[in-house]
A = this chain, B = another copy of it.
Amino acid sequence: MISKSIDPKRQAIIEAATRMFLAHGYRNVSMDKIAQAAPVSKATLYNHFDSKNALLAAVVSNLCASLLQTMSEAVIDSDDVEKNLKKIAASFMDLFFSEDGMAGYRLFITESRDFPELGQLVYESGALPALTGLENYLRRLNDDGRFSIADPAFAANAFFNLLKGDLYFPCLLGIRPLPLGDEKNRVINEVIPFYLQGILHADQ
C-alpha cells in the first residue's frame, strides 16, 4: 500500500504532470513524457495512477486546493470598504492573470467536457468559495446598515466578471501579454468606483 500523502515519487509525478498539463494541455502530454520529467519509469507511474485520467483528477484536485489557498489569503481586515474590495480584487487579478491561472482555466473548461466530475470539483473547491466569501462580506455590509445591496449573489458575480475587463479574453487567446501590476491596477481603479455606484447603492 502506498502512502497517498507524502510519498515523494507520487508528489514528483503530480508536480511534473501539473507543470506539463498546464504548459501544453492534457491531450498534448503523453505518459512517456510525464515519466521522463518526474523522473520515474512508466511502470512506476502506472503503479501510482491507474490511468491518465486518474492522474488528471489528482492534478486538478491538487491544483484547486493550492489556487483556493491563494485566493483565501486576501483577508478582510479593514473598516474601509473600498480598501477591502481593492484587496479582494488584487488577489483575484493576480490569480487569474497569472500563467498558471490562465492555463488552469483552459485546462478546466476543456477537459470538463469529458470528465463532468472535474467541473464539479473546480466549481465547488474554486469558484464557489471565492463567490460566497465575497457574498458574505456584502451581506455583512447590509447587516451593519452601511449599505443596502439588493442582491448580494448577483453583486458578487458582477464584481469578478467586471474585473476581467478588456484584458482577460485577449490574454486567453494569446494575442496580448499578461498585464503587469500597473495595468491590473488600472482595471481595478476603473471597476471599483463604478461598482460602488452601480451596485452597492451606497447610503453614505
Contacts and interface: CB of A to CB of B under 8 A. Distances in A.
B174 A116 contact: yes
Contact of A173 (B122, B158, B175): B122
How many protomers of this protein does the assembly include? Answer: 2
Interface residues of A, number: 40
B106 A174 contact: no
A198 interface: yes
Interface secondary structure of A, over-half rule: helix
Interface stretch (A34-42, A51-59, A79-87, A159-167): A159-167
Nearest to A191: B158
Given A28-B114, A123-B170, A158-B165, 17 more contacts: A25-B113, A105-B109, A112-B172, A112-B175, A113-B174, A119-B173, A120-B175, A122-B173, A123-B173, A127-B170, A153-B166, A157-B165, A158-B162, A158-B194, A161-B164, A195-B198, A198-B198
Interface of A: 25, 27-28, 105-106, 108-110, 112-114, 116, 119-120, 122-123, 127, 151, 153-154, 157-158, 161-162, 164-166, 169-170, 172-175, 190-191, 194-195, 197-199
16 contacts: A25-B110, A25-B114, A109-B109, A112-B173, A119-B174, A120-B173, A120-B175, A123-B169, A123-B170, A123-B173, A151-B190, A153-B166, A158-B194, A161-B162, A194-B199, A197-B198
